[in-house]
């Protein structure tokens, strides 16, 4: 990744006639700096990648594929994002505005739209299919990341 000049090599760009030696670092710009971090996906997930029946408007997205792609900082096509937003909007509009929630219950503060924080909450607190969550979110903010 990095190549150092040998200690006795002189810097040819030096304008002084002194025999000072410098060590210059050379960086390979074609190689990734940190190879332990997965590369960001170069493709955008489309409707066909997320939905088993892309023509059925009631079909739900494959959450495992979506979650993994977003955790890797992957992106969606505009059509896929709009489909998720429209499906989620329809689902949320059918929900009542006031709920009586049974205990046990895990109460979470505002995550400010941070997807990684949401995933960490689920990792620590348990899957939403097994654990009941109540998120305290300011009603005047509209976050899209946790919904996507």
**Residue 111 belongs to a domain:** yes
For position 140, what pLDDT does the model report?
56
For position 142, what pLDDT does the model report?
55
Q: Enter the pTM of the model.
A: 0.60
Determine the structural domain holding residue 107 and report its residue range.
Answer: 98-148
**Residue 51 belongs to a domain:** no
**Residue 31 belongs to a domain:** no
Q: Which residues of the chain have pLDDT under 70?
A: 1-20, 32, 138-148
Burial of 50 (0-12, 13-18, 19+ CB in 10 A): buried
**Residue 10 belongs to a domain:** no
For position 26, what pLDDT does the model report?
79
**Smallest Cα–Cα separation from 144: which of 100, 90, 102, 88?**
88
Rounded to 5°, the CA angle 4-7-13 comes to: 75
**Residue 30 belongs to a domain:** no
**Residue 103 belongs to a domain:** yes
**Residue 47 belongs to a domain:** no
**Residue 145 belongs to a domain:** yes
Domain count, the chain: 1
Token duo for residue 3: 């190549």
């Amino acid at each position: 990744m990095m190549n150092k000049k040998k200690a006795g090599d002189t810097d040819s760009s030096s304008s002084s006639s002194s025999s000072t030696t410098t060590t210059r670092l050379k960086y390979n710009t074609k190689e990734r700096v940190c190879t332990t971090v997965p590369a960001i996906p170069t493709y955008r997930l489309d409707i066909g990648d997320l939905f088993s029946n892309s023509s059925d408007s009631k079909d739900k997205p494959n959450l495992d594929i979506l979650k993994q792609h977003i955790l890797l900082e992957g992106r969606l096509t505009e059509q896929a994002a709009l489909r998720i937003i429209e499906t989620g909007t329809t689902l949320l509009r059918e929900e009542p505005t006031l709920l009586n929630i049974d205990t046990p219950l895990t109460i979470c503060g505002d995550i400010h739209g941070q997807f990684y924080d949401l995933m960490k909450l689920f990792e620590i607190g348990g899957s939403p299919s097994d654990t009941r969550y109540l998120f305290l979110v300011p009603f005047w903010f509209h976050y899209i990341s946790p919904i996507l």
